[in-house]
């Protein structure tokens, strides 16, 4: 039996929440998960959208990259 391991080099994840605090918690939790597979944060992009009713909606994109 032959096993071949392929390591993840890049990973992009998307997050969304109704408050900035909740968005931050989600991102921080996933950072800890990705540390276990030796990925670190390479870049973060975030946006806020206000609905017609005045509610705020937050989203973020986090690019994880293999630690060298």
| Pairwise CA distance, residues 19 & 26, whole Å | 11
Kindly report, residue by residue over 43-67, the tens digit of the pLDDT: 999 999 999 999 999 999 999 999 8
- pTM of the model as a whole: 0.83
pLDDT bracket for residue 1 (50, 70, 90): confident
- Structure-block tokens of residue 52: 């017609």
The two structure tokens encoding residue 29? 């939790």
């Amino acid at each position: 039996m032959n096993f071949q391991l392929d390591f993840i080099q890049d990973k992009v994840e998307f997050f969304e929440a109704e408050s900035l605090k909740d968005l931050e918690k989600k991102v921080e939790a996933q950072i800890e998960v990705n540390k276990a597979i030796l990925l670190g944060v390479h870049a973060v992009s975030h946006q806020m959208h206000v609905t017609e009713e005045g509610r705020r909606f937050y989203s973020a994109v986090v690019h994880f990259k293999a630690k060298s």
